[in-house]
């Protein structure tokens, strides 16, 4: 699947990121029955895969210096505050269009702050902490996980590529 995504991305001269193609092909393969639903859960591999995915995030921080990090604190805080207000307002408005509660809308919108694998971790934690029985936890997870996963992938993969494409012209 990954090789196919890289190949298709190169056909389009990387106009669409290879990770976006992975997402598209993954959804298509799942829908036609080529991929099992919850394959990691069935293989009991989620516990090992999630830390590995999370570690890949931290490898990018190896070259950061304390000066670089401290210089980014103020602009980052400003962006987080403005972004949080913006996504909350937009999420509530869009949620009304799609018939979601404001709570679900803001939860889906908040995925732009943490993306994948944070969306999986948050969804699991919410279902575990709010559900009282195994069936209730599974129902909560089944309700919120797909929405959060798609939102996280869209905001991190698609939207960030589009925004970066626009902002690169500013340099």
pLDDT tens figures, 62-121: 778 888 888 888 988 998 899 889 989 999 999 999 999 999 999 888 887 777 778 888
pLDDT, tens digit, 9 for 90 and up, residues 48-67: 887 887 777 677 777 788 88
List of residues 6+ apart from 140 with CB closer than 8 A: 126, 127, 130, 131
pLDDT, tens digit, 9 for 90 and up, residues 114-147: 777 788 888 999 999 999 999 999 999 999 988 8
**In contact, 122 and 108? CB cutoff 8 Å:** no
How do the domains of the chain map onto residue ranges? 1-46, 71-164
- pTM score: 0.56
Share of residues in the chain with pLDDT > 70 (%): 95
């Amino acid at each position: 699947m990954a090789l196919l995504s890289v190949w298709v991305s190169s056909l389009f001269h990387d106009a669409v990121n290879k990770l976006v193609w992975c997402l598209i092909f993954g959804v298509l393969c799942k829908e036609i029955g080529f991929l099992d639903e919850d394959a990691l859960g069935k293989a009991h591999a989620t516990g090992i895969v999630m830390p590995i995915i999370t570690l890949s995030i931290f490898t990018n921080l190896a070259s950061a210096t304390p000066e670089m990090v401290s210089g980014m604190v103020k602009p980052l805080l400003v962006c987080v505050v403005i972004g949080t207000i913006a996504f909350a307002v937009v999420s509530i408005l869009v949620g009304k269009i799609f018939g979601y509660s404001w709570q679900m809308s803001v939860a889906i919108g908040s995925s732009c702050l943490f993306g994948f694998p944070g969306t999986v971790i948050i969804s699991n934690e919410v279902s575990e902490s709010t559900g009282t029985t195994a069936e209730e936890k599974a129902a909560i997870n089944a309700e919120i996980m797909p929405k959060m996963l798609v939102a996280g992938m869209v905001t991190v993969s698609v939207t960030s590529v589009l925004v970066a494409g626009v902002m690169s012209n500013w340099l």
